[in-house]
Amino acid sequence: MESKLTNKFIFKSFVNWTIWNLALYNLENMQAPSLVKMLGDIREELYPGDLVKQQELMERHLPFFNTQPFLGAIIPGIVLGMEVEKAAGADIPGELITAIKTALMGPFAGIGDALIQGTYVPILLSIGLGLSSEGELTGVLFYLIIWFATMPAFSWFMFKQGATLGAKAAELVLGSNVKDKIIKSINIIGITVVGAISCSYANLKIGYTYTAGEYVLDLNSVVNNIWPKLPVLLAAFGTYYLLAKKNMSIGKVILVYLAIAIVGTLTGVLAP
């Protein structure tokens, strides 16, 4: 069977990713809707007339996904390559595609943010500011020209390489008896990455202090010295309980924590 991974086919998906990767951005799904859009536009080409398979394809990529849009373009490329192989009849579990996507999104987000937003953009801006020190438009034009001359091409390169790598990665696991081990290992990596990212950004401070004369005991410092970020870990367990055991939606969980934050801050139990 002739491969669907032609330059035209890959470019069509790349354009979708580029235009929509920051659209419909929300706390529950982040960039996932852009993957659904990307794959939704080619669902008929992958599964002609099979509505069930098309629905499974799009549902598979609706859960949370977030990465750096340019360097991280390699990930939707990999997803595209593996989905094409799966649609062509390859024995690729949907869990494997999801696990690879989850495992890669954190590292590429961190590297991409450091290299592009943290290094490349400041360098271009500093040069542009120097060129416009007297109010000229030269610096603005310099930034726009260099940015649009480099980043779309770089993103396309990463996406196309990802699509090719995705197909090859699929071939590597075909007929392999270690497929389940690969899925399990990558799932563990993905969970670890997501947990580490959550811990890095989340912060929960205990506001209670005990005072006796000149002695002041800051309970938050004591807890964090014994077990750093223990309140965040307990909040994570609480979130799991509400989602998995009480079947709450993300929106309701956010409202619960919003109420806890307001009451805790007003009573002094939590510190801002």
pTM of the full predicted structure?
0.64
Q: Looking at the structure, do residues 135 and 253 belong to the same domain, yes or no? A: no
Q: Using the 3D structure, point to which of 135, 166, 194 is the last residue of a domain.
A: 194
Q: Please list the ranges in the chain whose pLDDT falls under 70.
A: 1-3, 167, 169-187, 189-191, 193-198, 200-201
Structural domain ending residue among the three candidates 139, 172, 194: 194
29 within some domain: yes
Query: Does 78 fall in a domain?
Result: yes
Does any domain span residue 163?
yes
> Based on the domain organization, do 158 and 254 belong to the same domain?
no
Q: Residue 170 burial by CB count (10 A; 0-12/13-18/19+): exposed, middle or buried?
A: buried
Q: 222 lies in which domain range?
A: 204-271
pLDDT of residue 126: 80
Q: How many domains does the chain have?
A: 2
Residues 159 and 248 in one domain: no
Is residue 199 situated within a structural domain? no
Q: How much is the pLDDT for 151? A: 92
In a domain, 30, yes or no: yes
Residue 158: inside a domain, yes or no? Answer: yes
Residues 152 and 19 in one domain: yes
Residues 164 and 247 in one domain: no
Q: What is the pLDDT of residue 170?
A: 55
Q: Pairing relation of β-strands 205-206 and 209-212?
A: unpaired
SS3 state at 33: helix
Q: Which tens digit of pLDDT belongs to each residue from 170-210?
A: 555 555 555 566 556 656 766 676 666 667 667 888 887 87
Type and span of the H or E element at 100: helix 94-112
228-237 long-range contacts (CB < 8 A, ≥24 apart) are 229/199, 229/202, 229/204, 231/204, 231/205, 231/206, 232/198, 232/199, 232/202, 232/203, 232/204, 233/199, 235/202, 235/204, 236/195, 236/198, 236/202
Q: Domain check: are 57 and 181 in the same one?
A: yes
238 shares a domain with 130: no
Regarding whether 240 and 140 lie in a shared domain, the answer is no
Residue 141 carries which side chain, given as an amino acid letter?
L
Domain co-membership, 33 together with 91:
yes
| Token pair of 190 as six digits | 């993905």
pLDDT, residue 268, reads 83
Do 170 and 92 belong together in one domain? yes
According to DSSP, the residues that pair with 270 across neighbouring strands are: 206
In terms of domains, do 30 and 95 share one? yes
Question: Do 122 and 241 have their domain in common?
Answer: no
Look at residue 159 in the predicted model and tell me its pLDDT: 92
